Chains A and B, each alone.
Chain A
């Protein structure tokens, strides 16, 4: 009977443990590849071949500069099509000039800040139209919130500080003058869009034409043009994006004939697809089970790297018991002191990547210049319950160790610790947090939320959390992206921009504002560390750890490597190729 045979085979599959063909733990297991972040897996590759890389979401918009398009998936899909002036490197601190696109990008003046971009004379769009200063100008006008108020941009950061973008040398030199200094100017002019194509959607000298081209022209349909090594050959919605070599590509490579982005929306299905050779590269969020499953595969290499995501506990200062007042400060500081950050790491991500240490900084990653421990040095995250109790006692709390009562006589209510539903790591972190503060007499209820965004941006007094665990994203330019998290909100509102905790400190405001406009990197690092020390001692958010990243791929491929930046491993898609050695 067919049914009986099926049942028997399934039983055998279930009992066999490691999948057949893995060849045992020693001989056939996947190999972890380690090395310099910027050069790992750089064996010589040959020309030709195809690779299928997994995207975890559908490409909802083809314009990565719009809110819907600014997802990792959309950016990865267009990384080989839309060129950027600078490309952040895997080491998390280098931004490399894309010399295929521009020969140089020099700051010629600091007052006013002026950047001169010399565009490569060979740089052309796939229809042979030269890439020019007009394309730079188009990007500025659509994202400065002034020339095109209806352009739906993901962010105006930096572009709103530019006074002018002008062209010379027949359009091959773009001169950008800032009205206000912008330290992270190397983040600008990423994902260049062709202005001559924009003009086919509307009159780009008008705000309406800019909006139509930006919001719909470039967003609704996959680009038929390219300014990068690949061009989009076919898009099958919710299935795949197929990219082939751009015949008009003006740089070196690409090595592969075709790259297919296959959409797999369930992370757990990626490993069997890799094992079955239906895909050749995956970059899922690492989990213990997934990594163990991966390690058993034959002919697969993997890299466990770092990411810009850093997990933290954020405390809601809108709660009167946790607010910025002497009693609230003491309560938060005592909890910070009682928490065992390393203990949390050991029971969660430490099982994926041993050796992860507490982050202890709100701006810098350990790999970045300027990093220093500003949290652990205050005694936070060291599981010092005795010291935590002492802090409470000094502040006038009673009922310590039993049922905590605030100095004003009001009992401290149970606190809501909110985590993302279905995220096992964060649930464990919540449970551990509750156990760490229990000896202080504090009750913590650990609750899931199925809408993390909504829980973060509570907009009225009925906020959703007292303590919430989630990740902020770092950057090679930490000031630009992280300063808004700690800048004070206007009076009368419970959150603004990314300051969801409603943290206020005038000294921190001053330092952060300076860090965004100061053009001296050393001074910026000093500003950020001073601000960080203040934020840390104010005990508003407790950094936990830098989240590890995972990339697994067929061992026949070289050039592909883990990268924490917004375009992930596709940052060097032209370098991907089949290894000359075969594996």
Chain B
């Protein structure tokens, strides 16, 4: 298993490098990052524009620029930025912000999807199943940004009606918090609830459908019928025998959806003004700031690879046949 994991990791490296090179070419060729400066009124002196171009390595050939970038990474140098930021430092902070949101959303979506999937499967074609199926499709069909805005308005209304700020609509925390630990936790939770729900809701919808189908398949299998025939309690059959088996393909789907979570976080971060990885990517693309985009890709790609690896390991944990294969 260990050898398998290492092999998977080694294969991932050239894939990651190729993708960074392609993205580097695409962003670099998309336009001059200094164009907005040239169009300023009045424009900066030509000597200033030349100095800026030199600082951003725009006066170097394309391949040389890429080599500078890739060779700087081991030293923690992610290259210069139009935004005058230290990309490495910025990534560290923003990755933490995004992961806080993504991990919690994955957890929430997985728990609700697990429960809904089991209930739907156990009560197939019942009114509960129809209701949950309808809800699933409803959330699946809803655009994330639209749902986020709607949820935000609902939260503001609740705040106004109660006269207390329970929910916050911008940022991952208040700029200045007063009070003890409870107040700090309340503040973080108040900022976390809405974006987590938004990010979790669409994945919950698809995962619950997947879990329902998976559960139905397992529930009709011979070993579950045998367990029932032996007189095991219904709850035990569902949770210990059926759910565990049904979860294995779910884990694969969840790990594959991790990249989607990252992209979903871009919209969620924008609506709730979480200045995480998504915000960095959007701003950098708008400014044609190639190096932060590359750094984003490197981190996001690595995270996806890592999650796939974790999924493989979890898969083995859930299904002993893989462990011993």
- The finding on whether chains A and B are genuine partners in a shared complex, rather than unrelated, reads yes
Q: Is the CB of B275 within 8 A of A20?
A: no
Q: Give the Cβ gap from B62 to chain A, nearest Cβ, in Å.
A: 18
A34-62 at interface with B (beta carbon < 8 Å): 52, 58, 60-61
B67-126 at interface with A (beta carbon < 8 Å): 82-85, 90, 93, 112, 116
Q: Is B316 an interface residue (CB 8 A)?
A: no
Q: Is the CB of A266 within 8 A of B40?
A: no
Q: Is the CB of B37 within 8 A of A262?
A: no
The answer, among A68, A153, A269, for a CB contact under 8 Å with B84, is A68
Q: Is the CB of A238 within 8 A of B275?
A: yes
A6 and B154 alpha carbons, distance in the complex (Å): 10
Contacts of B283 in A (CB 8 A): 58, 265
Q: Is the CB of A20 within 8 A of B41?
A: no
- Against A, the Cβ 8 Å flags (1 = close, 0 = not) of B138-152 are 110000000101111
Q: Is A432 an interface residue (CB 8 A)?
A: no
- Against A, the Cβ 8 Å flags (1 = close, 0 = not) of B203-219 are 01000000000000000
Q: Is the CB of A275 within 8 A of B83?
A: no
Contacts of A354 in B (CB 8 A): none
A156 and B156 alpha carbons, distance in the complex (Å): 48
Contacts of B150 in A (CB 8 A): 10, 13-14
A19 and B131 alpha carbons, distance in the complex (Å): 28
Q: Is the CB of A3 within 8 A of B51?
A: no
Contacts of A61 in B (CB 8 A): 84
Shortest Cβ distance from B168 into A: residue = A278
Q: Is the CB of A457 within 8 A of B39?
A: yes
Q: Give the Cβ gap from B149 to chain A, nearest Cβ, in Å.
A: 8
A473 and B197 alpha carbons, distance in the complex (Å): 43
Interface window among B158-166, B230-238, B243-251, B298-306: B158-166
Q: Is the CB of A4 within 8 A of B131?
A: yes
Shortest Cβ distance from B175 into A: residue = A240
The answer, among B47, B138, B167, for a CB contact under 8 Å with A7, is B138
Q: Is B19 an interface residue (CB 8 A)?
A: no
Q: Is the CB of B135 within 8 A of A7?
A: yes
Q: Is the CB of A453 within 8 A of B270?
A: no
Shortest Cβ distance from A475 into B: residue = B41
Q: Is the CB of A152 within 8 A of B48?
A: yes
Q: Give the Cβ gap from A8 to chain B, nearest Cβ, in Å.
A: 10
- Against A, the Cβ 8 Å flags (1 = close, 0 = not) of B264-296 are 000000111101000100010000100000000
Q: Is B36 an interface residue (CB 8 A)?
A: yes
Q: Is B186 an interface residue (CB 8 A)?
A: no
Contacts of B257 in A (CB 8 A): none
Q: Is the CB of B154 within 8 A of A9?
A: yes
Q: Is A325 an interface residue (CB 8 A)?
A: no
Q: Is the CB of B157 within 8 A of A266?
A: no
Shortest Cβ distance from B208 into A: residue = A3
Q: Is A423 an interface residue (CB 8 A)?
A: no
Q: Is the CB of B160 within 8 A of A20?
A: yes
Q: Which of A156, A457, A484 has the most CB of B within 10 A?
A: A457
Q: Is the CB of B44 within 8 A of A154?
A: yes
Q: Give the Cβ gap from A165 to chain B, nearest Cβ, in Å.
A: 20
Q: Is B169 an interface residue (CB 8 A)?
A: yes
Contacts of B39 in A (CB 8 A): 452-453, 456-457, 498, 500
Q: Which of B38, B168, B204 has the most CB of A within 10 A?
A: B38
The answer, among B32, B157, B169, for a CB contact under 8 Å with A13, is B157
Contacts of B157 in A (CB 8 A): 13, 16, 19-21
The answer, among B135, B156, B270, for a CB contact under 8 Å with A272, is B156
Q: Give the Cβ gap from A223 to chain B, nearest Cβ, in Å.
A: 15
Q: Is the CB of A238 within 8 A of B153?
A: no
Q: Is the CB of A273 within 8 A of B170?
A: yes
Contacts of B270 in A (CB 8 A): 265-266, 269
> Beyond A19-B156, A237-B90, A498-B43, is A219–B175 a contact (Cβ under 8 Å)?
no
Q: Is A122 an interface residue (CB 8 A)?
A: no
> Beyond A6-B197, A237-B90, A269-B273, is A454–B44 a contact (Cβ under 8 Å)?
no
The answer, among A2, A6, A498, for a CB contact under 8 Å with B41, is A498
Contacts of B184 in A (CB 8 A): none
Q: Give the Cβ gap from A260 to chain B, nearest Cβ, in Å.
A: 6
Contacts of A152 in B (CB 8 A): 44, 48, 51-52
Q: How many residues of A contact B (CB 8 A)?
A: 68
Shortest Cβ distance from A260 into B: residue = B175
The answer, among A10, A156, A262, for a CB contact under 8 Å with B154, is A10
Q: Is B180 an interface residue (CB 8 A)?
A: no
A58 and B112 alpha carbons, distance in the complex (Å): 37
The answer, among A3, A20, A67, for a CB contact under 8 Å with B44, is A67
Q: Is B222 an interface residue (CB 8 A)?
A: no
Contacts of B320 in A (CB 8 A): none
Q: Is the CB of B135 within 8 A of A473?
A: no
> Beyond A149-B47, A155-B42, A265-B283, is A451–B35 a contact (Cβ under 8 Å)?
yes
Q: Is the CB of A457 within 8 A of B35?
A: yes
A262 and B176 alpha carbons, distance in the complex (Å): 11
Shortest Cβ distance from A143 into B: residue = B45
Q: Is the CB of A156 within 8 A of B275?
A: no
Q: Is A220 an interface residue (CB 8 A)?
A: yes
Q: Is the CB of B83 within 8 A of A3?
A: no
The answer, among A153, A156, A453, for a CB contact under 8 Å with B36, is A453
Contacts of A262 in B (CB 8 A): 170-171, 175
Shortest Cβ distance from A474 into B: residue = B41
> Beyond A19-B156, A154-B44, is A219–B169 a contact (Cβ under 8 Å)?
no
Shortest Cβ distance from A16 into B: residue = B157
Contacts of B85 in A (CB 8 A): 60, 237
Q: Is the CB of B197 within 8 A of A153?
A: no
Q: Is the CB of B48 within 8 A of A67?
A: yes
Contacts of A220 in B (CB 8 A): 84
Q: Is the CB of B271 within 8 A of A13?
A: no
A278 and B147 alpha carbons, distance in the complex (Å): 21
Q: Which of A61, A149, A237 has the most CB of B within 10 A?
A: A237
Q: Is the CB of A60 within 8 A of B135?
A: no
Shortest Cβ distance from A455 into B: residue = B35
The answer, among B31, B154, B170, for a CB contact under 8 Å with A269, is B170
Q: Is the CB of A145 within 8 A of B31?
A: no
- Against B, the Cβ 8 Å flags (1 = close, 0 = not) of A73-113 are 00000000000000000000000000000000000000000
A535 and B27 alpha carbons, distance in the complex (Å): 39
Contacts of B155 in A (CB 8 A): 276
Q: Give the Cβ gap from B226 to chain A, nearest Cβ, in Å.
A: 32
- Chain B interfacial positions (CB closer than 8 Å to A): 30-32, 35-45, 47-48, 51-52, 82-85, 90, 93, 112, 116, 131, 135, 138-139, 147, 149-157, 159-161, 165, 167-171, 175-176, 197, 204, 270-273, 275, 279, 283, 288
- Lowest 8 A-B CB distances belong to which pairs? A21-B160, A453-B35, A454-B35, A453-B36, A453-B39, A13-B154, A238-B275, A20-B157
- Chain A interfacial positions (CB closer than 8 Å to B): 2-4, 6-7, 9-10, 12-14, 16, 19-21, 52, 58, 60-61, 67-68, 70, 145, 149-150, 152-157, 219-220, 236-240, 242, 260, 262-266, 268-269, 272-273, 275-279, 450-454, 456-457, 472-473, 481, 484-485, 497-498, 500
28 A–B contact pairs at CB < 8 A? A9-B154, A13-B153, A19-B153, A20-B157, A58-B283, A60-B84, A67-B44, A150-B51, A157-B42, A237-B93, A240-B175, A262-B170, A262-B171, A262-B175, A263-B275, A265-B270, A266-B271, A268-B149, A269-B271, A272-B152, A272-B169, A276-B159, A276-B167, A276-B168, A278-B171, A452-B39, A454-B35, A485-B41
- Apart from A2-B112, A3-B135, A276-B165, what 15 extra A-B contacts exist at CB < 8 Å? A16-B157, A60-B85, A153-B48, A157-B42, A239-B171, A262-B175, A264-B170, A268-B149, A269-B270, A275-B160, A451-B30, A452-B36, A454-B35, A456-B38, A498-B41
